[in-house]
Amino acid sequence: MTGDPLAGLAEIRVHSGKVRELYLAGDDLLLMVASDRISAFDYILPTDIPDKGAVLTGMSLWWFEQLADIVPNHVVTARVEDYPAIFAPYTEALRGRSVLCRKLAMVGVECVARGYLAGSGLRDYETTGSVCGIELPVGLRDGSRLPEPIFTPTTKAPLGEHDSAMTFDDVVAAVGADAAAELRDVTLAVYSRGRDLAAKAGIILADTKIELGRDGDGRLLLADEVLTPDSSRFWPEISWAPGGQQPSYDKQYVRDWLAHESGWDRSSEPPPLPDDVVANTRAKYVEAYERLTGKRFTPSSTTP
């Protein structure tokens, strides 16, 4: 999205995140719009990735359907023609990258499941031999498969700050024993379903983060995005080799360029992305969408 084609909706915008904008859409409803922004190292980068918002929206909608028997979700409709009238002038800007959804009371915990060792989990393991208080076998390496998937929650830090690891006991203290168990069980069930379906496409789901909230009846619902390259690590199964960083379908490509090629020291705003990094990142997002869903990607094809 170039510029702000939704500037006329500024008065009803209630939240602007790293990637998504939220707009009031009536009683207990929100319109969630995925931009083409990309973030890394807790910064929003100055360069957009074309069609990224449509890929994330389409992939989430597909996954919501695959997970519906595990946990309900917040989606009301993704058909722009069915949105409230206030959004009618913005139909084309919203098509394929927006979802009308239920307003939820979001859980104050980042719910993360890991089946492989990478990222912050790897760093914690190398320091303590455990991740979020869960002891792991000795001798694991970057990219190692864990004996079983683990629930590794974190705090929800404000934009620009780092999340902090939580133990399960920390979650119990924050939300209560029953709610903590429900968060853990749902997160692991979502990961397991995602892992199994991704495997059929030759993709390893290394880890994933999900957002959960409660509706007015207290039901736990899946919200925001789910099992996308922004919220998950996807690796090609054919090239998986523990002992180093794995090739990926997620934004690790952008992180690698920033960390190793850009010369950026992270003490200032990040630099613009080169054209080839933008093109290759877009291609990775699109490939992940097509391999997982079995559908050919076009910007308008992501909305059922």
Share above pLDDT 90 across residues of the chain, in percent, rounded to a whole number: 87
In a domain, 281, yes or no: no
Q: Tell me what pLDDT residue 161 has.
A: 63
In a domain, 203, yes or no: yes
Task: For residue 32, count CB atoms less than 10 angstroms from its CB and return exposed for 0-12, middle for 13-18, buried for 19 or more.
Answer: buried
Q: Tell me what pLDDT residue 231 has.
A: 93
Burial 280-291 (b: 16+ CB within 10 A, else e): ebbebbbbbbeb
Share above pLDDT 70 across residues of the chain, in percent, rounded to a whole number: 95
Read off the pLDDT of residues 69-79 as tens digits, 9 standing for 90 and up.
999 999 999 99
Distance, CA of 205 to CA of 228 (rounded, Å): 10
Residues linked to residue 175 through DSSP beta bridges, in sequence order: none
Q: How confident is the model at residue 1 (pLDDT cuts 50, 70, 90)?
A: very low
Contact 278, 49 (CB under 8 A): yes
pLDDT at 9 over 90: yes
| Tokens representing residue 19 in the block | 């990637």
Q: C-alpha dihedral over 158, 164, 169, 175, to 10 degrees?
A: 10
CATH of the domain at 129: 3.30.470.20
Is pTM beyond 0.85? Reply is: yes
In a domain, 210, yes or no: yes
Distance, CA of 35 to CA of 53 (rounded, Å): 5
Q: Tell me what pLDDT residue 252 has.
A: 78
CA-nearest of 33, 26, 21, 25 to 95 is 33
In a domain, 125, yes or no: yes
Contact 255, 281 (CB under 8 A): no
Q: Tell me what pLDDT residue 250 has.
A: 79
| Average pLDDT over all residues of the chain | 93
Q: Based on the structure, what is the number of domains in the chain?
A: 1
Phi and psi at residue 5, in whole multiples of 5°? -65, -10
Residues linked to residue 39 through DSSP beta bridges, in sequence order: 44
In a domain, 247, yes or no: yes
HSE (CB half, 13 Å, CA atoms) of 234? Answer: 26
| Tokens representing residue 1 in the block | 């999205």
In a domain, 144, yes or no: yes
Contact 218, 176 (CB under 8 A): no
Q: Tell me what pLDDT residue 51 has.
A: 95
In a domain, 289, yes or no: no
Q: How confident is the model at residue 299 (pLDDT cuts 50, 70, 90)?
A: confident
* Strand 111-116 relative to strand 130-131, pairing: unpaired
Q: How confident is the model at residue 168 (pLDDT cuts 50, 70, 90)?
A: very high
State which amino acid sits at residue 252: Q
Which domain covers residue 233, as residue numbers?
Answer: 106-254
pLDDT at 160 over 90: no
Read off the pLDDT of residues 173-227 as tens digits, 9 standing for 90 and up.
999 999 999 999 999 999 999 999 999 999 999 999 999 999 999 999 999 999 9
Q: Provide the greatest CA pair distance for the chain.
A: 59
In a domain, 116, yes or no: yes
pLDDT at 304 over 70: no
Phi and psi at residue 17, in whole multiples of 5°? -100, -165
Distance, CA of 107 to CA of 243 (rounded, Å): 35
